[in-house]
Chains A and B, each alone.
Chain A
Amino acid sequence: MSNAPIKVSRRDFIIRSTQAGTAFALGLSLPGLGSGAVAAEGPAGADNSHTETPEVNAWVVIEPDDTVIIRIARSEMGQGTLTGLAQLVAEELMCDWSKVTTEYPTPGENLKRDRVWGSFSTGGSRGIRESHDYVRKGGAVARQMLIQAAAEAWDVPMDECTAANSVITHGPTGRTTTYGKVASAAAELWPPEHVALKDPDDWTLIGKPVKRLDTLDKLNGKQVFGADLKLPGMLNAAIKACPVFTGKLSSFDDAAVRDKPGVRAVVAVGENAVAVVAETWWQAKTALDALPITWDKGEHADLSSADIDAMLDAGLTSSEQVFVGNAAGNAEQGLAGAAKTIEAVYAYPYQNHATMEPMNATAVWTPERCEVWCPTQDGMAALEAAADAAGLPIDRCDVHKIHLGGGFGRRGAFHDFVTQAVTIAKQLPGTPVKLLWTREEDMAHGHYHPVTKCKLVGGLDENGGLTALHVRISGQSILAAVRPQWMGDDGADPVTFQGFHADGDHAISYSVPNLLVEHAMRNPPVPPGFWRGVNINQNAIYLECFIDELAHAAGKDPLDFRRKLMAEHPKSLAVLEAVADRIGWGKPAADGVHRGLAVVKTFGSYVAACAEVSVDGGKVKVHRIVAATDPGYAVNPQQIEAQVEGSFVYGLSALFHGECTLENGAVVQSNFHDYPSMQIKDMPQVEVIVMPSGDFWGGIGEPTIAVAAPAVLNAVFAATGKRVRRVPLKYAELS
């Protein structure tokens, strides 16, 4: 790459491209409105590419006052990725952390710039573990350019200059300057082609429990979520879709509500929904409640949970549509030759994500352009959904991301709310429309944690060692419905086997000489989705509770029994030993308190938990959970602790309460009164052991969710001698 004539061109290019992005973001012609008004009321935490300062590179903008703006492509939904990713960039940038702020580039800008920010997808605990390399390089490149700019200004060799805390120092003379002073000059330079990343031993910011960057606005009401967005001239929409998943909208009598206060339009939305658009959302919602609607409920109008149960029960023994996820030795022979075999069947229900902020999106459509503001776990996917619904080329659309009021997988693979918002806005050209779902709509139209059952048969030798294990999962495939292109050539869904794989990020933690893990795919007509933890939630219960059953059948201590199977899994064993050690496994617990263990490798991290529970009058009380996690590198230990605690709330809410049932083709549960979630009174003491062993990047947001439920269930067995094999726990008779 030749430098000289292009220096100026690069600056021109950068200014042009960022201004183009900014102008596009704000430039939509809203009737009667200056474009600036949209910017002025734009949400905190949304894209705010308002600066005139040229970027140093795609990841870094430095203002003259030394404010460092780090661009973050992934979405913040509470998991702390915004702060963690900023730490990664800042580590290499060697800037003053106290002056770091962040912004989201828009997906539209990403497309224009040849996807310079990489993936926007925020799920599967991937934010840090799949972008650590290129975001650190982004920081390192920017640092080199800043140093080069200073060196050129001083007319000294670059290698005589060093940077720390946003200050560049020329060693021989002791001269200093700041990033803010040289940022404009740095922006004119071509980036170095190669940069070396710091050795982990030299990290000063990665691994530090720094405070989150997004806390303060969340304490005083300033943080604007998608549900709070207000654009000038905006109308509000409430929506109802056919409660039966494959049903359609037949008709509605808009005359009945057209004259209600504030109502501006009643519109069909796609084939299966109707929306009322009004001046306020409350007016839209009350008018929608009064709107006579008839549905064509379609072929699944009679579907019930009993039908689904029967499908899954048949799959436990059928030989049709059966896929093998892991096999070693010969499980059939191993079981036949075992001194003792035991068998159990477990079941896990549909569950809703139930993010605290219901689904929403705000859209403006004109024949020329479409813009959307929404909470999304995947800005690029939101943009594609918007362009599809808008009927416009994708380069005439853009999405402005807003921090999410919870995601948990609901807002990543699915942008039904974006499609709907754009479909509504398209019927009111030029008018911004905010679509907000009711909680009831959110419960009725989830993309649910899939339903499965699992039959396990284990064989023990005369010494009580596990010699054979046959696992038959029966139930729903997420990929078949959501990502068929990720399925195997044979039609298998590898994600179904999470935690049972022979190797990789979701490998089984045990060596079993004769092993067969199968999946009988049974796909009921209920939309499944990725739900925090995905399939590890139930698979960890199936395996870890059954291992506990086997240990007891063998007359062994559950820890010792596991140890014997884990010689080839030292990192898994290390986290298990850590929790056992901390809780005092082998020493008596307090009176009436009993313990249970679980260990899992998932999303690339090794996690274990030991739970202490008591059961009184049939009621389970979880007192304490000790959890250990080895994510390889721990970027922000205090946020890891927060994620572990939080994952236990989500996982234990699922264990104790989480269930969506089907009647007459529709989900029965409608709100938090019949789909309860844990409260503070139910919360155990949680002790988190963060034990990064280095050399790999594991996930944080999801792994520990897997160990809470089986650890508690194993403790419940220790307390009562009763095995709970069906989630939610409310069905168990424990008194």
Chain B
Amino acid sequence: MAKLKVNGELLQVEADPSTPLLWVLREQLGLTGTKYGCGIGVCGSCTVHIDGAAVRACTLPIAEVNEGQEIVTIEGLSASNDHPLQQAWAELDVPQCGYCQPGIIMTAAALLAENPDPSDADIDAAVTNICRCGTFNRVRRGIHLAATMKKNGGAS
């Protein structure tokens, strides 16, 4: 029995300690917004926040997470879909199939939290997610737009 703090709630989960956080989120907690893409930490579809940092949940056993750490998934990113990135994404119609988008949004959210006005080079370094539909140029515009919205106080 492990305790995890997910989206502000302390939850008990029953899973082998070697189980990756991704599968505990998806199968024990029903938080399926966090996606399985590769299972080896390369594609970034499983990105969540742990204490604000973007982490790939598919290669992180729950034994390595303690209950004091704040885990945030795409479902907990904002109360009413009003994170600047979500607003910017809606404005620019960023997703295509959408499967990788929660991971990309979580990656970008961690970047913006740390760096409110990222340059293109900052985005290139931080966003290493794979998107086979090819939404990258809108992702880049979306991050810049969200940064502007945040700066102007137009969003939460």
Write the residues of chain A forming the contact surface with B, with a CB cutoff of 8 angstroms. Answer: 77-80, 211-212, 214-225, 227-228, 230, 236, 261, 280-282, 354-358, 403-408, 436, 438-439, 638-639, 642, 645-650, 653, 671-673, 677-681, 683, 685-686
Contacts and interface: CB of A to CB of B under 8 A. Distances in A.
Contacts of A683: 136-137, 140
A219 B96 contact: no
Contact of A439 (B39, B137, B140): B39
Nearest to B128: A679
Contacts of A680: 123-124, 127-129, 136, 139-140
Contact of B37 (A223, A356, A649): A356
Contacts of A211: 90, 93
Nearest to A638: B93
A405 B97 contact: yes
Given A355-B99, A649-B134, 11 more contacts: A215-B90, A215-B95, A223-B98, A230-B32, A281-B27, A356-B45, A356-B131, A645-B138, A646-B134, A672-B42, A683-B136
B132 A649 contact: yes
B130 A679 contact: yes
Contacts of A222: 33
Contacts of A653: 132
B4 interface: no
B73 interface: yes
Nearest to B137: A645
Contacts of A227: 32, 35-36
Contact of B98 (A403, A650, A671): A403
Interface string B91-117: 001111111111001000000000000
A639 B43 CA distance: 25
Given A221-B74, A356-B35, A672-B38, A642 B135 contact: yes
Contact of A650 (B16, B100, B132): B132
Interface string B118-156: 000001110111111111111110000000000000000
A225 B95 CA distance: 14
Nearest to B143: A680
Contact of A647 (B35, B94, B95, B134): B134
A216 B32 contact: no
Contacts of B137: 645, 683, 685-686
Given A228-B26, A685-B137, A221 B33 contact: yes
A218 B132 contact: no
Contacts, number: 180
A218 B98 contact: yes
B86 interface: yes
A683 B138 CA distance: 11
Grouping DSSP codes into helix (H, G, I), strand (E, B) and loop, the B interface class, with mixed when no group exceeds half, is: loop
Contacts of A282: 15, 19-20, 23, 27
Contacts of A212: 93, 95
Contacts of A404: 97
A223 B95 CA distance: 12
A406 B101 CA distance: 12
B40 A672 contact: yes
Given A220-B81, A261-B16, A356-B43, A215 B23 contact: no
Contacts of A261: 16
A215 to B, nearest CB: 6
A219 B42 contact: no
Grouping DSSP codes into helix (H, G, I), strand (E, B) and loop, the A interface class, with mixed when no group exceeds half, is: loop
Interface residues of B, number: 59
A572 to B, nearest CB: 24
Contacts of A357: 35, 37, 97, 99
Name the 6 nearest CB pairs between A and B, nearest first: A221-B33, A649-B134, A78-B97, A405-B99, A78-B96, A218-B98
A621 to B, nearest CB: 12
A310 B17 CA distance: 50
A227 B33 CA distance: 11
Contacts of A679: 124, 127-130, 136
Contacts of B99: 225, 355-357, 405-406
A104 B17 CA distance: 41
Kindly name the residue among B35, B45, B99 whose own CB sees the greatest number of chain A CB atoms within 10 A.
B99
A214 B99 CA distance: 12
B34 interface: yes
A539 B83 CA distance: 45
Contacts of B33: 220-222
Interface of B: 15-16, 19-20, 23, 26-28, 30-40, 42-43, 45, 73-75, 77-78, 81, 86, 89-90, 93-102, 105, 123-125, 127-140
A335 to B, nearest CB: 40
Given A77-B97, A356-B45, A216 B90 contact: yes
A220 B132 contact: no
B19 to A, nearest CB: 5
Given A281-B27, A645-B138, A648-B134, A214 B98 contact: yes
B32 A228 contact: yes
Given A215-B89, A220-B77, A356-B130, A439 B98 contact: no
Nearest to B102: A221
Contact of A671 (B38, B90, B123): B38
Kindly name the residue among B26, B97, B131 whose own CB sees the greatest number of chain A CB atoms within 10 A.
B97
A218 B104 CA distance: 11
Nearest to B81: A220
Contacts of B89: 215, 219
A218 B37 contact: no
Contacts of B95: 78, 212, 214-215, 218-219
Kindly name the residue among B20, B30, B89, B133 whose own CB sees the greatest number of chain A CB atoms within 10 A.
B133
Contacts of A236: 27
A356 B132 contact: yes
A280 B14 CA distance: 11
A538 B119 CA distance: 36
B8 to A, nearest CB: 15
A404 B98 CA distance: 9
A652 to B, nearest CB: 9
A216 B102 CA distance: 12
Contacts of A215: 89-90, 93-95, 98
A407 B20 CA distance: 27
A225 B101 CA distance: 12
Contacts of B133: 78, 356, 406, 646, 649-650
Nearest to A225: B99
Kindly name the residue among A218, A673, A678 whose own CB sees the greatest number of chain B CB atoms within 10 A.
A218
8 contacts: A80-B96, A227-B35, A280-B15, A405-B99, A439-B39, A645-B134, A680-B123, A681-B128
Contacts of B100: 356
Contacts of B81: 216, 219-220
A436 to B, nearest CB: 8
Nearest to A532: B132
Given A214-B98, A649-B133, A672-B42, A230 B138 contact: no
Nearest to A672: B42
A40 to B, nearest CB: 13
Contacts of A80: 96
A331 B22 CA distance: 60
A219 B86 contact: yes
B32 A221 contact: yes
Contacts of A439: 37-40
A638 B34 CA distance: 28
Contacts of B94: 215
A672 B32 contact: no
A634 to B, nearest CB: 16
Contacts of B39: 438-439, 671
A406 B74 contact: no
B133 to A, nearest CB: 4
Given A356-B35, A683-B140, A671 B20 contact: no
A218 B135 contact: no
A122 to B, nearest CB: 12
